[in-house]
Structure 1
Amino acid sequence: MRALRFNQDATCCVIASKMGDISIYNCDPFGKCFELDAKKNSTNTTDDMTDSTTFQSNDMSNLYVDQGEYIVEMLFSTSLIAVVDRSTGTIKGKKLKIINTKRRSTICELVFPSEIADVVMNRKRMCVLLENDQIYIYDISCMKPLETISLWNDGSGKNDSHDRTHPFNDSIKKSEEGKTRDRRNSVRSRIRPRITLSNEDRSILCYTSYSVSKHKRDQPLLKDVVVYDAINIKPINYLSSVHKGNIACMALSQDGKLLTTASEKGTIIRVFNTGIDTKFDGKNPLYCEFRRGSRPSNLYQLIFDRSSTYVGCVGDTGTIHIFKLKTDNNLSTLNVDAGETGEITSYESFRNKSTATDPSRQIANYLSQTIKAKIPNQNLDRDFAHINVKEGTRYCLGFPEEYINQVYLAGDDGNFRIYALPSVPGSCVLTKSSSFM
């Protein structure tokens, strides 16, 4: 398979075959409810699994794709899907189609100035990330463009060369922007800008932001996160240096209150408060953190369940991890790796923050961080549950809202599996298996 993902509530799974055929499956009961046949240039739709209809879709022929070259985002269990075909060159890669599978028609086509890297949406907003490091925000009810965000700006729409997160001079900025134009397959790359959108109507958007250190000004890192209100179109908070390296994977909880992240190393999974509540202590945004393992891993997916009780983690190893969040976390007593945990502030406070501090406190803080940084943190909680899988197969994890003690697992080996979560830490139990073939 060349594309594989669940919709927001894990009621459906979307796949694209090696030949580019797009199919949507109901998860419970398992069965195909939509198919786009690239060979026949047609689309087959089954409404309520009883009626099958065919219509011509010539624009979607020749859909042979590589992994990551095809983007399909489904809006919950509705008939609305967003489709991007990156497999046939840069021109088609700039076009996004909104398709109504029930009416068997293309609602609209949006053409962007650069190739599309990712699409996320909920019932209120659709956000499109481009290869040129821009984010377009749309009102999904009428597909009206609301805002364009540049990751090279400060998020408020105004360039600020004095902002410490974006101290790029013109030469550095042009150099890095040139790199984005050359990364044809960056949609498949772990190290690229990331966006995630909360599923609820509050529409909290989080996206990675570039950060430059004083000693490596020519090597910006994607280790900061902007928390953005996509309804009122304004930045809310800023998480600085949530990891030492680039953020390779992240996800928001359903209500947008929690953000989970992982770096390119993939050994530590962190969960942060986004600070969207009115009363919040921004000095310590870290909610909890887990150790996935000691060996580096390429992580494909992080995901919260509906109640923000579990965080699922999928990578290229033979184990899928499920971590359990503790509701009685004491933020002030967390054992944290020095130098990797960020600070969250209001966006305006971040921009206007004074650099003047007490020299004695600066020295004490420097010494404590230097000492802690030399001590590896091995006491972090491990996973609560896990699923042993075959290495070399790509998987996608889903938490069904109706069945809180189950997880869905789809693999590009053509199998769909349902597992039961254990009552005590241990391995998940396979309860049902089906095939996409």
Structure 2
Amino acid sequence: MDLVGPAAGRREGILVADFNQDYSCIALGTQSGYSITNCEPLGQVHAKELGPTCLVSMLFSTSLVAVVVRSPAGSEKRLHILNTKRNSTICELTFPTDIRAVRMNRRRLVVVLATALYVYDISNMKLLHTIETGMNTTGLCVLASASDECYMAYAAHEAHDSHVVVYNLHTLAMVHVIPAHRSRVACLAFNAAGTILATASERGTVIRLFSVPSGRLLHQFRRGTYPARIFSMSFNVAGTILCVTSDSDTVHLFRVPTMTAPCDPHQALEQKKRRAWRSTSMAQALGPYLPSSVTEMWEPTRDFAWLKLPRPGLRAIAVVSNTLPVVLVLTYEGILYTYTLDLELGGECHLAQRMYHYDSHAEHALLPASSAPL
């Protein structure tokens, strides 16, 4: 879910921005190093100058942090595993090509290269397995944060890049290949329990939810009618809301239906009618006379809440706070926005606060909060 690489609106000096697994902390990589900041209450807890830090990955709120520092020659092949409490290096690993992403939960650490995944036991950093993949320059790979449901998902080989591979990191075996979309998969997200996988294609119009590990399609959301590049998707910790950011200026929040054990077709149909009786009735009435691509337009559920960013193209990650009814939006400009969220009624979320987490003239600076209009 981290924001890496060139992006419109990025403030000079910021290389990567991300939340930890439970959204309690922000990790930021800059041209001079990295910093870690608590979200509630907002305050920096650690910072270190290492040089251009292009990847930062936290293990919840522990002292273990994985970073990749760009070498003077421009290489991003060396991974540093750090202990922030002791201010020490646990280990360093060098890979044959640049590291695209690092994913962690309490049992496994996965290093993502453009054509391979390296799976480690996080307790001793022993290499367990190497998985060859198709070309994956964006580092598309996600891990379930729950260690008891230790699943990983990544895009299949180029010939089937609309498919998603679900992999069991306990047994080190592939458990399912999901035909998720018609076009290339662009974004993935697990819920915290590791039982639901959200997928989006490069078109970015429809978000799909799949049961894990069965791969059964559970639900669909419609983000919009026009294509958009999805920047991030994130479930809240309870798994009841999915946040989606894109290159449009709207952040969408979808209410995740209660997922129960698979029911019979009649029960499934009744649940679908209750969720969206108008659209379902229309699709049922006209479905036999229309192409599937047309009837599919009525099926996905729209957002229940949304918020507006200052402008389109602003690269951002949005998450629902684990402790307050607010949406936290972290942008590549180094600004953390807080929007109020009505969990019952939904509707438009309104800006409550903005905090400059990073300032180009003072590395890792936290500037006063503001509730002034954008």
Q: TM-score, normalised by structure 2?
A: 0.79
Contact 1:2 1:20 in 2 (8 A): no
Contact 1:208 1:225 in 2 (8 A): yes
Contact 2:105 2:146 in 1 (8 A): yes
Aligned to 2:152: 205
Contact 2:328 2:337 in 1 (8 A): yes
Q: In structure 1, which of residues 32, 52, 64 is the aligned counterpart of residue 44 of structure 2?
A: 32
Q: Deviations over 1:96-150 (max 9, x none)?
A: 110111111111101112221111001111011111x211110101101111111
Deviation at 1:375, TM superposition (A): 4.5
Q: In structure 2, which of residues 252, 258, 262 is the aligned counterpart of residue 321 of structure 1?
A: 252
Contact 1:195 1:207 in 2 (8 A): yes
Contact 1:6 1:397 in 2 (8 A): no
Could you say what secondary structure the match of 1:373 adopts? helix
The percentage of counterpart residues that share the same residue type is 33
Aligned to 2:17: 4
Identify which of structures 1 and 2 has the higher relative contact order when contacts are C-alpha pairs closer than 8 Å and 6+ apart. Answer: 2
Does residue 125 of the first structure (1) align with residue 108 of the second (2)? yes
Contact 1:290 1:382 in 2 (8 A): yes
Aligned to 1:387: 307
Q: In structure 2, which of residues 312, 321, 331 is the aligned counterpart of residue 411 of structure 1?
A: 331
**Aligned AA for 1:286?**
L
Q: Deviations over 1:232-269 (max 9, x none)?
A: 22222221x21000000011111111000100000111
Could you say what secondary structure the match of 2:291 adopts? helix
Larger radius of gyration: 1
- Provide the aligned length of Structure 1 versus Structure 2: 322
Aligned to 1:265: 203
**Aligned AA for 2:243?**
G
Aligned to 1:435: 356
User: 1:263 and 1:289 mapped to 2: Cα distance?
Assistant: 13
Aligned to 1:344: none
> Where do residues 331-342 of structure 1 align in structure 2 (5 Å cutoff)?
332-333=268-269
Does residue 138 of the first structure (1) align with residue 76 of the second (2)? no
**Aligned AA for 2:67?**
V
User: 1:87 and 1:313 mapped to 2: Cα distance?
Assistant: 33
Change (3 A) 1:326 1:21: same
Aligned to 1:308: 239
**Aligned AA for 1:196?**
V
Could you say what secondary structure the match of 1:323 adopts? strand
Contact 1:312 1:323 in 2 (8 A): yes
User: 2:154 and 2:355 mapped to 1: Cα distance?
Assistant: 35
User: 1:237 and 1:30 mapped to 2: Cα distance?
Assistant: 40
| Structure 1: unaligned runs, 5 residues or longer | 38-59, 153-179, 188-192, 212-219, 277-281, 336-367
Could you say what secondary structure the match of 2:242 adopts? strand
* RMSD of aligned residue pairs (Cα, Å): 2.5
Q: In structure 2, which of residues 60, 76, 79 is the aligned counterpart of residue 96 of structure 1?
A: 79
Q: Deviations over 1:139-170 (max 9, x none)?
A: 10110111111126xxxxxxxxxxxxxxxxxx
User: 1:118 and 1:414 mapped to 2: Cα distance?
Assistant: 20
Does residue 226 of the first structure (1) align with residue 209 of the second (2)? no
Does residue 247 of the first structure (1) align with residue 185 of the second (2)? yes
Contact 2:220 2:299 in 1 (8 A): no
User: 1:34 and 1:384 mapped to 2: Cα distance?
Assistant: 37
Could you say what secondary structure the match of 1:288 adopts? strand
Does residue 236 of the first structure (1) align with residue 236 of the second (2)? no
Deviation at 1:25, TM superposition (A): 0.9
Contact 2:29 2:55 in 1 (8 A): no
Contact 2:164 2:185 in 1 (8 A): no
| Structure 2: unaligned runs, 5 residues or longer | 1-13, 274-287, 360-374
Change (3 A) 1:369 1:309: farther
Contact 1:210 1:223 in 2 (8 A): no
Deviation at 1:374, TM superposition (A): 5.2
User: 2:212 and 2:183 mapped to 1: Cα distance?
Assistant: 20
User: 1:209 and 1:124 mapped to 2: Cα distance?
Assistant: 24
Deviation at 1:86, TM superposition (A): 4.3
Contact 1:223 1:245 in 2 (8 A): yes
Contact 1:195 1:208 in 2 (8 A): yes
Contact 1:114 1:130 in 2 (8 A): yes
After TM superposition, the structure 1 stretch with the greater mean CA deviation from structure 2, 298-307 or 324-333, is: 324-333
Q: Deviations over 1:311-335 (max 9, x none)?
A: 1101111111110012168775469
Change (3 A) 1:369 1:32: farther
**Which runs of structure 1 show a deviation greater than 4 angstroms over 4 or more consecutive aligned residues?**
86-90, 328-332
Aligned to 1:83: 67
